[in-house]
Structure 1
Amino acid sequence: MALPWLESARVWGYDTVEPRNANQAPTRLAVLFCGNGFHAGEWWASGDGANMELGKVLEPLRDLTDRMLFISGLYNEEALKGNIHSSQTGNLLSGAPIASGGDIRSGASFDQVVAQSLGNTTKIPSLVLGCEKSNPAVHKNYSMLYSSHISWASPTAPTPLELYPALAFDRLFKDSASQADKSVLDTVLASAHDLRRNISVNDQRKLDEYLDSVRHVERRIDDAGTRGELQGWKPTLRESNMPRPSEGIPQDISEHMRLMCDILVLAFQTDTTRIATLKLNNDHSALRFPHLGVDYITHHLLSHSDTPDWLKVNQFFVEQLAYIAKRLDATQEGEHTALDNSMLMFCSSMLTGQHDATQLPVVLLGQGGGKIQTGRTLDYSQSPNRQMCRLYLSMMDKMGVHRDRFGDADEPLSEV
């Protein structure tokens, strides 16, 4: 909680987020991950606007090209050092060096940097979902926990992953108080008392007046809520529009993924969180796809050959992105839609199943609250500064979280 200027407290400046109009819907950020890369000849896009052409992997996004930004040529230099799934995934969203020898040490991912700055504005700081269990084994000198997690709360702790749709649903709607549900003053009261002992009498009076004014505003907001008045922007849904999922993990991977997609959309619609990651599978994935007629081989092994079945599986994963985007686009928020107010990043830790991480596959959907010009393709393959972390700096900026440096990048992508 920010304080007024005090004569007896030296101020060296503080981080803040950009002010937002009370009637403006917030910007949301979601990262969807698909392990093992894509079909070598069919991940591409060219042209702009209505003339954009797509490779077959991206065919499910055909109706969304005007909301899409296709980015090629970016890479993560640290991921090239191990040239194995775990070493290419453990730092995908951080660009940090990772430890080998079975140790766990990476870097905080950019989604969690945003969550640590903005998470206290919503019930849940971030929603971290997955569709395949973590693998604690070691593969070629690297822990496979790296290939099982894309979101990292700290260099040594991956963010806890929710695999169970019912538990993820409960987290959105169970009536348990979080910091965002409490009075601001109740949350900081102890700190305020400590501060009061160390400031002048004039500042004590100023602090008391300030806290009283905050409490008065809180009570007015509470009263308005009781009367049913809308004060500024409100979530588009007041309660769930889907039934609670069944207990356990669905045996059908198609059902599992679709439930997790629905929960992500629901979290954004209700403003329960504004930051989410959805790991559709692990890198080095063992998933099979009987509903596609591809039950004879695991996802990982299938990725090593560009067969028609591999293309079919690729398209299935891209369909999950398209489904989320279309549901958000059907959610109206004033003159815009929830998709307009979101950034959905779809990515993998390698371009192809041959461990090619010299450039990474990236698609963005949504306009980030009007801050992203979509309907374009951007190619950084010939750029001397093509760090993936430059994209993260740009996305963090659009969320109102500004950093001079992140990972191996010290400037955002000006074109994004």
Structure 2
Amino acid sequence: MTQHIFSRRTLLRGLGVSMALPWLESINVWGDEKTGAEKASEAPVRLAILFSGNGFHSKEWWAKGEGSAMELGKVLAPLHDFREKLLFIQGLYNEQALKGNIHSSQTGNLLSGAPLASGGDIRSGTSVDQLLAQTYGRSTKVPSLVLACEKSNPSVHKNYSMLYSSHISWTSPTTPTPLELYPALAFDRLFKDEVQKGDQSVLDAVLSDARDLRRQISTSDQRKLDEYLDSVRDVEQRIAGAGKKGELQGWRPTLDKPNIARPADGIPQNIAEHMKLMCDILVLGFQTDTTRITTLKLNNDHSSLRFPHLGVDYMIHHLLSHSDTADWLKVNQFFVEQVGYIARKLDAIQEGSRTALDNSMLMYCSSMMTGNHNNDQLPVVMVGGGGGRIATGKILNYRDQPNRQMCRLYLSMMDKMSHRPKEFGDGKEPLNEV
């Protein structure tokens, strides 16, 4: 097709439903309209921040070398296939997180570098994802998705609110961004015109429109559309079955079995399925340009999750983190597997000359280096090319450098999304190497 007859807001529509399209070679979905023989505009840069609490195995979070010859410690083994699209970053830290108590004051300012209020008061700083949502995110249906797999903890720990341990995304200094724990509601935010419970299948509602579109696009784009619709159907079906079986996670109740019927559309009790669904929803949001910014909190700092599917059901996550056992390594790898799962799915989505992973930045981090609460440097790994703007396959070490603020990394990430504040948190300039 030499003329792009679809606007950048092209949608598949049904009653109460609208599904944005993925990047298709034969139509223009994103960016300014172009005419003549020009190709459709390039895909946008996306940002996903993934977090797990309590750090990692002290002897197995490492990387050596570069490119395809890079060696990864056992914690990062699930990212082996992405060594050439990876940045391993050492030495960055948040100075304000060294003040106050452990856990809460190490987490609540992770994405802002802001000082935290104590005494049970709530005051942090607007996080980098929400700053971008207020600017870069305005061009999409959902400015940002903030997903979680463990509910917020409202208690107080050593004079600091545990809300700090439960939230890394902050809409304002006094407002932690609400967490979406329910896969069904997160899915609805992407595809339904109103987020509410409903029995109608999103895919069934748009099939007629999809068939009409299919007749107007190229054969290769027909395959891509079919793959996308299949992905949506798969997520729908898994959400419908979520929670019907599986292991309990977190604190154990006194009952062995529930004494009431399970409510519909609940949180999956199988933590592996819960996380996988949230990862799939993240990918769908990026694939359709419904959102360009997603924060996925896999668990809290000071987490109470359990992992029966790993054979690790005798101790909660927080207590496991205090020793370098083989079971702690299993749990670490399970979390990193979620990053690898997202990366693999994005890398399979072709967007012109690049993949969706090449057009994205996936940052994975924790609140401390190990479960012993040491956060004089933070564990950070990034996957993806940021729209071809990041040179990957490298190890960056800032450990002995004077200006190693974590917020400098955020300035670099914002730069890739064409948002360039003069400073952010305690960061005054971006990292030149990112």
- TM-score bracket, shorter-length normalisation: 0.7 to 0.9
Task: Provide the rounded CA distance (Å) in 1 between the counterparts of 2:299 and 2:269.
Answer: 14
SS across alignment from 2:135? helix
Task: Provide the rounded CA distance (Å) in 2 between the counterparts of 1:323 and 1:301.
Answer: 26
Q: Could you list the per-position Cα deviations for residues 10-69 of structure 1 after superposition, in whole angstroms to 9, with x for gaps in the alignment? A: xxxxxxxx9999611000000000100000011000111122111110011111101100
Q: Could you list the per-position Cα deviations for residues 225-266 of structure 1 after superposition, in whole angstroms to 9, with x for gaps in the alignment? A: 9x9689xx9xx7575343421310111100100000000001
One-letter amino acid matched to 1:317 = F
- C-alpha displacement at 1:87, in angstroms? 0.2
Task: Provide the rounded CA distance (Å) in 1 between the counterparts of 2:179 and 2:269.
Answer: 18
SS across alignment from 2:80? helix
Correspondent of 2:325 among 307, 315, 318: 307
SS across alignment from 1:29? strand
SS across alignment from 1:105? coil
**1:95 counterpart residue number:** 113
- C-alpha displacement at 1:176, in angstroms? 4.0
TM-score, normalising length from structure 1? 0.81
**1:272 counterpart residue number:** 290
Task: Provide the rounded CA distance (Å) in 2 between the counterparts of 1:123 and 1:117.
Answer: 13
Task: Provide the rounded CA distance (Å) in 2 between the counterparts of 1:334 and 1:20.
Answer: 16
Structure 2, unaligned runs of 5 or more:
1-30, 35-39, 196-212, 241-264
**1:360 counterpart residue number:** 378
Task: Provide the rounded CA distance (Å) in 1 between the counterparts of 2:380 and 2:360.
Answer: 16
Q: Could you list the per-position Cα deviations for residues 111-146 of structure 1 after superposition, in whole angstroms to 9, with x for gaps in the alignment? A: 111110022211100000000000000000000000
1:242 aligns with 2:234: yes
One-letter amino acid matched to 1:276 = T
- Asked if structure 2 preserves the Cα contact closer than 8 Å seen for 1:83 and 1:355, the reply is no
One-letter amino acid matched to 1:169 = F
- C-alpha displacement at 1:299, in angstroms? 0.1
Q: Could you list the per-position Cα deviations for residues 291-311 of structure 1 after superposition, in whole angstroms to 9, with x for gaps in the alignment? A: 001000000000001100000
**2:159 counterpart residue number:** 141
**2:430 counterpart residue number:** 412
Matches within 5 A, 1:322-361: 322-361=340-379
- Percent of pairs with identical residues: 72
Task: Provide the rounded CA distance (Å) in 1 between the counterparts of 2:146 and 2:53.
Answer: 16
SS across alignment from 2:314? coil
Residue 152 to residue 228, structure 1, CA distance change in 2 (3 Å):
farther
One-letter amino acid matched to 1:287 = L
The structure whose RCO (Cα within 8 Å, separation 6+) is larger is: 1
Matches within 5 A, 1:150-229: 150-176=168-194
Correspondent of 1:43 among 49, 57, 61: 61
Structure 1, unaligned runs of 5 or more:
1-17, 178-224
Task: Provide the rounded CA distance (Å) in 2 between the counterparts of 1:53 and 1:289.
Answer: 28
TM-score, normalising length from structure 2? 0.77
- Asked if structure 1 preserves the Cα contact closer than 8 Å seen for 2:414 and 2:420, the reply is yes
One-letter amino acid matched to 1:164 = Y
- Asked if structure 2 preserves the Cα contact closer than 8 Å seen for 1:70 and 1:364, the reply is yes
Residue 332 to residue 141, structure 1, CA distance change in 2 (3 Å):
same
- Asked if structure 1 preserves the Cα contact closer than 8 Å seen for 2:126 and 2:173, the reply is yes
